[in-house]
Amino acid sequence: MAGIAASASDHERTIRELRADSNAGFDSHDAERIASHWLPDMVVTQATLGEHTVGAATNRAMLQDMFEERPDVVYTRTPTEVVVSPEVGFASEEGRWLGRWSGTAERGETAGAPMRRGGVYFAQ
């Protein structure tokens, strides 16, 4: 059992490191860096809108559009729990996310106003 626990711990450390690298990609608006951690057939569900964005290419394009529309946007995801099951090749991650940017009138926000949104996220 110790081998499985150590392996799960190694996988958890790797997942947390990849999340930190993804956050760095958001800081630098590097959609390619963020997308480098995704599977080609990934699905993103936006709970507040009930929308699903399917596929790495579509999600990468969505990020690039967001970075152009909101030049100062930053999203940070902080894992609070990572559960790894190496024997079945599965991991799940739960955490908190926070987005910050300056508002724009085009999006119905007060131009220049500091905007913040956040909540819980889940990833597999």
The pLDDT, as a whole number, for residue 90 is 86
CATH of the domain at 83: 3.10.450.50
Average pLDDT over residues 96-122: 94
Full-model pTM? 0.85
The pLDDT, as a whole number, for residue 5 is 52
**Closest listed residue to residue 120, CA positions, set 59, 50, 47:** 47
Per-residue pLDDT band for 48 (boundaries 50, 70, 90) equals confident
Provide the number of structural domains found in the chain: 1
Q: Does the pLDDT at position 3 exceed 80?
A: no
Instruction: Say if strands 90-102 and 74-85 run parallel, antiparallel, or are unpaired.
Output: antiparallel
Which letter, b or e, does each residue of 61-97 get, where b requires 16 or more Cβ atoms within 10 Å of its Cβ? eebeebbeebeebebbbebeebebebeeeebebebee
pLDDT, tens digit, 9 for 90 and up, residues 49-86 = 778 999 999 999 999 999 999 999 999 999 999 999 88
What is the extent of the structural domain holding 100? 2-123
Token pair in block for residue 72: 């100062």
Vertex 13, ends 123 and 36: CA angle to 5°? 55
CB 71 within 8 A of CB 84: no
